Amino acid sequence: MELTIYVVDAFSKDRFGGNSAAVVPLNEWISPALMQKIASENNLSETAFIKQVAENRYEIRWFSPLTEIDFCGHATLASAAVILNQLGAQGELEFVTQEVGELQVVQLDDGRIEMSFPNQAPEVEHQVPPALLAGLSIPPQQVLKNRQAYFAVLASEAEVRAVQYDSEQLKQLAPFDVVVTAKADEETDYDFVSRYFWPANGGDEDPVTGSIHSGLTPYWATQLAKSELVALQASKRTGTLYCKISDDRVLVSGYGVLYLAGKVFV
């Protein structure tokens, strides 16, 4: 079997920045076991598999090197970039997911791809797991949680950049991941910063995590009294995300750059 594959650097204007995602368009679904093998072989944060079901409407599934993921932002952006810029589609796209409903995606005039996510605001976690505290080198000021991750709020951007993590401790929090976050320094162009650790589900540190901004955005919108925010994910590759609260949705946008187009033989 021969499949087409693309790799897009998501949430970056430049190649070798942001977060790389593979995109594999399918005419018919292949087995989950084969999708997992392809994702493991790719060894990227995510591989997205997409199947067109109507004009501008696609089913989408995401796989990390370890497991199927129920919600992934950067691979959705990468998929939209492929559909719009490589496969010739125009107008609004709709992705059908298994766990988070339908995601609407449009390309803005400046080239950014804007995705409409469910609002997944976190709630304060009063019983903080010992493994979370043991897994971070800097104690959080506050801990919250949503369906995806624990949110460890730190005192400053410097702490977010400096914090170290213990993968074995954080694995004990499965199926939840961990995001550390803080208000950005005043002299920057960002409103808040974050880093994302997910040893139980994909790897040690994710370069840029679009999905978690469905929770970070409502949290920081409340803290900063702003409905539009710019976020920096401060990994080694870094990524910039433009975030907006719109009724009960969270709009997250960013750029994507094609890195690779090729064939997979399975």
Residue 104, judged by CB atoms within 10 A of its CB (0-12, 13-18, 19+), counts as middle
Residue 147 corresponds to which tokens in the numbers above? 């369906």
Kindly give the residue spans of alpha helices, DSSP state H, lying in 43-179: 74-85, 130-135, 157-162, 167-171
Cβ pair 253, 115 in contact under 8 A: yes
Longest dimension (CA), the chain: 53
- Check if 99 is active-site: no
Contact partners, residue 41, CB within 8 Å, separation at least 6: none
Closest CA to 154 of 144, 164, 142: 142
Question: Of the listed 46, 114, 157, 159, which one is catalytic?
Answer: 46
Beta bridge partners of 50: 25, 60
Residue numbers annotated as active site: 46
